[in-house]
């Protein structure tokens, strides 16, 4: 079944908010509607196997790992009506034009990813994808400290909050990350670095 027109849907939020679960839920509905689906994920995300999406809740869906955003366009098959892209924050900036190209071809594109990095700042191409989308669903997790809504991802190194200047991308799960609310999200800054930068 072909769509009347293409569209872009973005599912954004912190880790443990259910982004991949929601992505898989939409894919299952597309399957019921007998639509042809292709699913892609960045090859660097090997947490649950290389050729599947897996939510923290245990849902799974077959996916093709790709090294670059441009590779997605080259792998679109005849008759595909739904394309899903998980962990979009890990892709290069070309992902924004790839998604637009697919939607312009009449394909429904569903993108899931972290809207902010562990520092609470915009993550990779996600802000642009959110602006370009027809539909954006921003979902929250539960703060591990107080139980409030958690829009942020806390990175922990040996049980302590990671520093602002630590690497942006470190793939991991509950051993490295927790969901936190604004009040309990901690990102210590190296004061000596800040002082030298201000001079």
| Cα angle: 193, vertex 171, 94; to 5 degrees | 85
Distance separating alpha carbons of residues 140 and 147, to the nearest angstrom: 11
Helix (H, G, I), strand (E, B) or coil at 161: strand
Distance separating alpha carbons of residues 48 and 82, to the nearest angstrom: 23
- What is the number of other CB atoms lying within 10 angstroms of the CB of residue 153? 25
Average pLDDT, the chain: 89
**pLDDT (average), residues 116-144:** 97
Catalytic machinery residues: 87
- Signed CA dihedral, 47, 51, 53, 57: sign only: negative
Break the chain into its structural domains and give their ranges.
7-139
pTM: 0.87
Q: Are 181 and 148 in contact (CB under 8 A)?
A: yes
Superfamily of domain 7-139: P-loop containing nucleotide triphosphate hydrolases (3.40.50.300)
Q: What is the pLDDT of residues 10-47, one digit of tens each?
A: 999 999 999 999 999 999 999 999 999 999 999 886 55
């Amino acid at each position: 079944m072909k769509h009347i027109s293409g569209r872009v849907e973005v599912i954004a939020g912190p880790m443990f908010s259910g982004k991949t679960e929601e992505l898989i839920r939409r894919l299952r509905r597309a399957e019921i509607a007998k639509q042809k689906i292709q699913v892609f994920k960045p090859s660097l995300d090997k947490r649950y196997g290389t050729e599947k999406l897996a939510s923290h809740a245990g849902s799974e869906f077959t996916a093709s790992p790709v090294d670059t955003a441009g590779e997605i366009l080259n792998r679109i098959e005849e008759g595909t009506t739904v394309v899903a892209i998980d962990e979009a924050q890990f892709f290069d900036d070309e992902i924004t034009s790839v998604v637009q190209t697919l939607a312009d071809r009449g394909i429904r594109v569903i993108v899931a990813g972290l809207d902010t990095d562990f520092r609470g700042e915009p993550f990779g191409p996600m802000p642009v994808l959110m602006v370009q989308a027809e539909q954006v669903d921003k979902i929250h997790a539960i703060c591990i400290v107080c139980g409030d809504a958690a829009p942020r991802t806390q990175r922990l190194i040996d049980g302590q909050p990671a520093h602002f200047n630590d690497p942006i991308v470190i793939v991991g799960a509950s051993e490295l990350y927790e969901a936190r609310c604004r009040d309990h999200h901690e990102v210590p800054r190296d004061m000596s670095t800040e002082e030298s930068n201000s001079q």
